[in-house]
Amino acid sequence: MQLEVGIHTLRLKHRFTISRDSQEAAETVIVSLEHDGITGYGEASPSRFYNHTAESVSAALEAAAPLLEHADPLQYRRLLDSLLEELQGNRAALCALDLAFFDWLGKCWGVPAFSILGLDPALAPISSFTIGISSLDHMREKAREAAGFPILKIKLGTGEDVDIIRALREETQAVFRVDANCAWSIQETIEKSRELAALGVEFIEQPLPPENLDGMEKIYRESALPIIADENSITPADVPGLVGRFHGINIKLVKCGGILPALRMIGMARTFGLKVMIGCMIESSVGISGSAQIGPLADYLDLDGAILIDNDPFRGVENHRGRLVYPLRPGLGVLPRG
């Protein structure tokens, strides 16, 4: 197998701000894996929060490339498990390879990846559309622009969080989900949960910094809304420790290492009675299409990364006002543009 690695800059349509960061573009790593005349594509959109950059992911992949030259892609499960050590634990790099293998396998067998997994895309939930932090007037404008999306994910972590939700509720009757990205305190979360519940918010995502797991026990007991783990939900090993602290987990392929680890996390979540969200970073259609393959297993989807950018180098699964439309092409269903 021949591996090629490239770094791409994805330009956002609008500046995107959360409680700890603001960006106008995001770097992503896209790989191609060729064997027997078939090419599979994968992607990793790394985050500095998880100690990954496009450069570190690219370097890890380049170092692992010689190990793939004589490997059998049909032995992908054993190969991917062994590669994590060779990648020095870089799960973002593993994600890119995992997706490339599933894309290659689907093309080799002539079926979509969701068919390999025995899943029906018609069962995928509606995806949310994200509104980042900005001025209140601009967030109102974004809510009006998002008319037609039945679910909105609102980024919070300001001194005006409840006022923001109250103002946006005047603009739309869409379902609201809020994400504090670790910006709140314990008591703040409990108090805001009551006000947000009255405004029709469905759940709160990651209110506390990930190191404050003990604080989540009090929130779990006293919150008026369900709490979903994101920054605390990285790998399968994290899931047991979230029981009794969160009501559900947000799984992102680039955090856990791709489809195979995500399937393990979903199985563990179901065993422990946790809800499952499949989320994303700012990604091209390669990463979004990869995540969409396991969408039918989720309770909630947040797969809007590709519709937030204006220079997507691929086309694949489409987002029609929150409803995912899967192409009937093999693998991940992705094709390079141009």
Residue 338 scores a pLDDT above 80: no
In the chain, how many domains are there? 2
- For residue 63, what is the domain's CATH number? 3.30.390.10
* Collapsed DSSP state (helix, strand, coil) of residue 220: helix
How many CA within 13 A on the CB side of residue 204?
A: 35
Q: What pLDDT was estimated at residue 139?
A: 96
98 and 212 in a common domain: no
User: Are 278 and 284 contacting, i.e. CB atoms less than 8 angstroms apart?
Assistant: no
231 and 330 in a common domain: yes
Looking at residues 12-25, what average pLDDT do you find? 92
- C-alpha–C-alpha distance, residues 28 and 58, integer Å: 10
231 and 201 in a common domain: yes
174 and 300 in a common domain: yes
127 and 107 in a common domain: no
- C-alpha–C-alpha distance, residues 259 and 115, integer Å: 14
218 and 272 in a common domain: yes
312 and 248 in a common domain: yes
229 and 178 in a common domain: yes
Domain that holds residue 92: 2-112
Residue-wise pLDDT for 32-66, tens only, equals 999 999 999 999 999 989 989 999 999 999 999 99
Q: What pLDDT was estimated at residue 85?
A: 86
183 and 323 in a common domain: yes
Q: What pLDDT was estimated at residue 20?
A: 87
- Mind giving me the DSSP string for 23-61? EEEEEEEEEEEEETTEEEEEEE---GGGT--HHHHHHHH
Predicted TM-score of the model (pTM)? 0.96
Q: Which residue has the tokens 């791709």?
A: 258
301 and 241 in a common domain: yes
Last-in-domain residue among 112, 135, 152: 112
Q: What pLDDT was estimated at residue 53?
A: 96
- C-alpha–C-alpha distance, residues 40 and 179, integer Å: 34
Looking at residues 13-21, what average pLDDT do you find? 91
Q: What pLDDT was estimated at residue 42?
A: 98
Looking at residues 205-224, what average pLDDT do you find? 98
Residue-wise pLDDT for 149-177, tens only, equals 999 999 999 999 999 999 999 999 999 99
Last-in-domain residue among 112, 137, 171: 112
181 and 319 in a common domain: yes
Residue 266 scores a pLDDT above 90: yes
184 and 285 in a common domain: yes
Percentage with pLDDT > 90 across the chain: 96
As a whole number, the mean pLDDT across the chain is 96
- For residue 153, what is the domain's CATH number? 3.20.20.120
Q: Which two tokens stand for residue 146?
A: 């998002």
Query: What does DSSP say about strands 314-315 and 201-205: parallel, antiparallel, or unpaired?
Result: unpaired
User: Are 173 and 148 contacting, i.e. CB atoms less than 8 angstroms apart?
Assistant: no
Phi then psi for residue 157, to 5 deg, are 125, 35
Last-in-domain residue among 72, 89, 112: 112
What's the pLDDT band for 26 if we cut at 50, 70, 90? very high
